[in-house]
Amino acid sequence: MQGQHSQGEESSMRTIREILRLGLSIGLSSRIIGLSLHVSHNTAQKYLKAADKANLNWDQVKVMNDDDLYKLLRGQYLKSELQIVRPLPDFAYIHQELKKPNVTFELLWQEYKTAHPDGYQSTQFRNLYHDFAKTLQVSMRQTHEFGDAMFVDYTGQTVLIYDRITGAVSEAQIFVAVLGASNYTYAEATPDQSLPSWIGSHVRTFEYFKGVPRKIVCDNLKAGVTSASRYEPDLNPTYCDMTTHYGTVVLPARVRKPKDKAKVEVGVQVVQRWILAALRNRKFFSLGELNEAIRELLVRLNQRLFKKLPGSRESVFKEQELPVLKLLPTTAYEYAQWKKARVNLDYHIELEGHYYSAPYTLAHEEVQVRYTTNTVEIFYENKRVASHARNQRRGWHTTIREHMPKSHQAVLEWTPSRIIAQAKKIGTKTGELVEYIISSRQYPEQGYRTCLGIIRLAKDFTPERLEKACQRALAIGGHSYKTVNAILKNGLDRQPLPSKTNMPVINHDNIRGGGYFNNLHQN
């Protein structure tokens, strides 16, 4: 087993990996990475320097397990063990709170420590705030570079959809995305604000833009941000998975900070005024019909000329923004969900009633499961350890031979015809009993353990005695290992058989009959 990590250390390693992904793969600066992950830019810079000193690239990092990455970074640059990354306080929030009556540094620090017990101590908290306060006199205007940011949100205003047959009415949600520099806008209707709808809207947005911005600024929507912490928002794993696929990064807007998402709020107003208002008197009977109408008005919106600037959203987008967007990946993101699971004693994890194997050495370990419509992947310490085709049959098992212990793999080499042939070497009645047991099961494999147990009794009691015990078991209708074993232990195999008139008549709908497995083996 590889080294174990505490929950805090695992959280730290996830943060370190994300720092390395954003720096090594996407090429973001340590300052932008710090803003994205809510850590100091010095922290981001420290790990990027460690990776550079070790000559690591992202392709190497993403296949390394946590222990190896931990040791390599520490050995190359860090002078002490990797510390849990401390979340930075929201200094702007602190500055405003201090203006309120009776609010003190001590109170704000205690609230911060309650939310993050591993955060900065009181003196560090105070010093960091004073460093921030020195910069307040510097006025900084927020600007957006071409290809840098995309802002996303829902309008809050819905559109009614009517069912032609039942007359039922549902409310369609309106998703809006705006590119920061060109203001090029995308909008669509979705049935709800669920995670699948949220992810699907992003995928279709990238396709509409024909490229991917370097970052996404989103509101603290539950589908995308599972924990809207003021200090350290926690992104939904599926949302993170999607952004990794497209090579971008998410910057959640801070709670109660409307300026963080001012661009999309203006975009929402534009969509409401120029698209939804134009559709106010129309009646829609399907989501597709509504989206077709939105798409037509969207073209008109993006082609409208600016009043004070030359061109339009579309012309600026095509001339300035599209050329610097990141290229789309060769395949669109396939919606995937994540869940935690524990590998059972039989080295399988359960997912929606079906069981998938993992290496038997991971029994009792907690793993991460990523599953789509077609695949199931199992990860341990950020390394994929198993991949299966998705199977919807409840109660069934999907097992990879290499995941099994050697002793279990040997069982797979047995077939019904081989087991029956082995039993017939002991005697005719032993073969008949074994064939009956296998034939009476819904699936032959369900009888393997019983049959192999009966065959092994020949080693404890001699083949001759086992043959007579099986003859008696057939005569009394006792078709089980327990019956045969009891006959042998009590010496009943040496007693006369019961008369034929007392023998039970065997009549079972599931019995396949003699020769079935020979024919099966030949086919």
Highest mean pLDDT among 19-33, 97-111, 223-237: 19-33
Structural contact between residues 286 and 298, judged by C-beta atoms closer than 8 angstroms? no
Instruction: Select the more confidently predicted residue: 364 or 226.
Output: 364
User: For residue range 395-452, what is the model confidence (pLDDT) as tens digits?
Assistant: 788 888 888 777 655 555 667 888 899 999 999 999 999 999 988 876 566 677 789 8
390 has a pLDDT exceeding 50: yes
pLDDT at 267: 79
pLDDT at 245: 92
Instruction: Select the more confidently predicted residue: 76 or 38.
Output: 38
Name the percent of the chain lying above pLDDT 90.
32
pLDDT at 230: 38
389 has a pLDDT exceeding 80: yes
Alpha carbon 460 to chain centroid, angstroms? 51
Average pLDDT, the chain: 80
Residue type at position 487: I
Confidence band of 373 (pLDDT split at 50, 70, 90): confident
Give the other-Cβ count within 10 Å of 66's Cβ: 21
Instruction: Select the more confidently predicted residue: 39 or 318.
Output: 318
Instruction: Select the more confidently predicted residue: 121 or 276.
Output: 276
pLDDT at 268: 85
Structural contact between residues 359 and 386, judged by C-beta atoms closer than 8 angstroms? yes
pLDDT at 44: 85
CA-angle at 184, arms to 178 and 188, nearest 5° = 60
Handedness of CA 292, 297, 300, 304 (dihedral sign): negative
Asked which of 157-161, 196-200, 219-223 is least confident by mean pLDDT, the reply is 219-223
Confidence band of 473 (pLDDT split at 50, 70, 90): very high
Confidence band of 40 (pLDDT split at 50, 70, 90): confident
User: For residue range 54-87, what is the model confidence (pLDDT) as tens digits?
Assistant: 888 888 888 888 888 877 877 655 543 344 457 7
Instruction: Select the more confidently predicted residue: 499 or 425.
Output: 425
Our separate counts of H helices and E strands in the chain read 20, 15
Tokens 């370990």 found at: 365
> Which residues, including other chains, have CB under 8 Å from residue 281's CB and lie 6 or more apart?
none
Q: Rounded to whole angstroms, how far apart are CA atoms 456 and 463?
A: 9
User: Which of 365, 369, 362, 403 has its CA nearest to residue 384?
Assistant: 369
Confidence band of 212 (pLDDT split at 50, 70, 90): very high
pLDDT at 264: 66
Q: Provide the residue ranges of all domains of the chain, joining segments of one domain with +.
A: 7-76, 91-133, 149-324, 337-405, 414-522
196 has a pLDDT exceeding 80: yes
Structural contact between residues 356 and 376, judged by C-beta atoms closer than 8 angstroms? yes
349 has a pLDDT exceeding 70: yes
In terms of pTM, does the model score above 0.85? no
CA-angle at 255, arms to 142 and 273, nearest 5° = 65
Q: Which residues pair with 326 in a beta bridge?
A: 212
By the 10 Å C-beta count (0-12 exposed, 13-18 middle, 19+ buried), 414 is classed as middle
Confidence band of 309 (pLDDT split at 50, 70, 90): low
In this structure, what token pair is assigned to residue 68? Answer: 């190896």
pLDDT at 82: 41
Mean pLDDT of 3-19: 63
pLDDT at 16: 86
Alpha carbon of 316 to those of 158, 178, 188, 303: distances in Å?
30, 13, 22, 10
142 has a pLDDT exceeding 60: no
Asked which of 225-239, 405-419, 474-488, 506-520 is least confident by mean pLDDT, the reply is 506-520
User: For residue range 214-261, what is the model confidence (pLDDT) as tens digits?
Assistant: 999 887 555 544 443 333 334 578 888 899 899 998 887 655 555 556
DSSP string across 267-335? HHHHHIIIIITTTTT--BSSHHHHHHHHHHHHHHHHHSBPSSSSSBHHHHIIIIIGGGSBPPPSSPPPP
CATH topology of domain 149-324: Nucleotidyltransferase; domain 5 (3.30.420)
Asked which of 49-53, 95-99, 117-121, 294-298 is least confident by mean pLDDT, the reply is 95-99
Confidence band of 482 (pLDDT split at 50, 70, 90): very high
Handedness of CA 76, 78, 84, 87 (dihedral sign): negative
